[in-house]
Chain A
Amino acid sequence: MNNKIIKYVITDLLRNRTILVYTLVLLALSLSIFMIEDNTDKGIASLLNIVLFVIPLVSIVFSTIYLYNSSEFIALLVSQPLKRQTIWLSLFIGLATAMSLAFLVGVGIPTLLFAPGISGITLVIDGLLLSLIFVSIAMWTSVRIRDKAKGIGLAIMLWLYFALIFDALLLFALFQFADYPIENLMIAVCMLNPIDISRILILLQIDLSAMMGYTGAIFRNFFGTHSGMIITFIIMLLWAAIPLYFSTRFFKQKDL
């Protein structure tokens, strides 16, 4: 694979002011949370809520805007002796690297400094995976939709869906079927939302699951085991791989 484009994409992205501001905001947030909270588990829980909202939002919206703004660059590359697949994957790797770096510097380093331990590491891994997943979803939306405004709109809608609407629907269903034993089904349904998977994983690590009652126990039973963790990890990777795969397939046939 020709790695040359990755180099240019990454240099371009690291010079981007938005990425810098994003890193600094994350850094300020995580530092202030850890300074205020003495209890590291509580600190992680507070940081978790920020991470689960901000990381997906910035990853999907920034990547979408970047891809639309790079349409000329992409057209230029397509007219050169390069494989289309190489171009597209290089863009993904560039974006994923930039978002992951920003997250690592902004949240990863403070977390590992102030709250080293299994819960901190879980938070960092989750944040990195969420960055990859939402960059990948952004690749898919921006390749499918030609119009920039519509594309960014869809990106925001998708974020709203994963961050809020999905949970609302889930809660609604939960109350409707409260009389039935749906705990195992709930685990399966949660797999449909990467943000939920991350939340459960981290909450289980910081022993807040005790407050989640019977469902918490069921979750612990599944996510607490090795096989459960491996399955969850694979599902998170699939969440990153599947949109990327479909976007690449579509990009190969796209008219520029």
Chain B
Amino acid sequence: MIKIEQLSKSFGKLHVLKNIDLQLEGGECVSLIGPNGSGKTTLIKSILGMVIPSSGRILFEHKNIHGAWQYRQDIGYMPQIGEYPENMTIGQVVDMMKDIRRMPEAEMDMELYDKFELHRMLDKRMRTLSGGTRQKVSACLAFMFNPKTLILDEPTAGLDPLATEILKEKIIKEKHKNKLILITSHVLSDLDDLVTQITYMQDGQLIFHKTIEALKTDTDTDKLSKAIAQVMRTEGGLR
């Protein structure tokens, strides 16, 4: 579904991504992990076309995304920090997104919208919202248009346990619909039971991309968090 070939990006002298090669398919739930500043968000933003790569290319369903925009119709994106125009109300933001996506009401997926009870606060202005509520709005918008691919940047940061649970259930449900779900997260335990593959990045390099089973056998542990800690330790030790 998404194929990344030799992707590099530098901001001035800083090399944020170094020759990344990665292939992701539908029905997978991929967790993108790595220390702060390892280039996770830049990689995600490159897929979304928000960051223009210095070299290499990204194919979305076999088409180069460079200069294209229609492909984003098939992507739902939940940013790390929900940034919205401060003066708009939740209702206006939702209406604007519906306007942009032009999807018939019947095809829209309002499950999260209903479960997070957004309809009860449509008149609230974005600037008055707490971090958690912003995350809820972001999550609703990402899932609302039934995209084939979901890109979730730190989705559970700021959400309360109840909302996290709702979001998790939703992610699992979407995974079964053969969608590609790409998650970055630091909080590993939250996602233990829904991730199928792990991609580990460090200093702008892709260290490995493995299925969970392979990772657990390789590191000889049964818990994901332990396995990751093990990897981080050995990676750190190599340097």
Contact = CB atoms under 8 A, between A and B. Distances in A.
Given A75-B50, A255-B11, A255-B50, A82 B69 contact: yes
Query: Which of A12, A70, A81 is most buried by chain B, counting CB atoms within 10 A of its CB?
Result: A81
B84 interface: yes
A226 interface: no
B225 to A, nearest CB: 30
Contacts, number: 64
Contact of A82 (B52, B83, B100): B100
Interface stretch (B71-79, B104-112, B170-178): B71-79
Interface string A237-256: 00000000000000001111
A78 B96 contact: no
Interface residues of B, number: 26
Interface string A66-91: 00011011011111111110000000
A124 B73 CA distance: 43
B168 to A, nearest CB: 23
A255 B87 CA distance: 24
Contact of A70 (B45, B73, B85): B85
A90 to B, nearest CB: 11
Query: Which of A76, A83, A253, A255 is most buried by chain B, counting CB atoms within 10 A of its CB?
Result: A76
Contacts of A4: 96, 99-100
B227 interface: no
Interface residues of A, number: 25
Given A78-B49, A80-B97, A83-B69, A12 B84 contact: no
B156 to A, nearest CB: 20
Interface string B40-84: 000001001111100000000000000001111100010100011
A70 B83 CA distance: 10
Closest 5 CB pairs of A and B: A72-B83, A81-B72, A81-B73, A73-B85, A255-B51
Interface of B: 11, 45, 48-52, 69-73, 77, 79, 83-88, 92, 96-97, 99-101
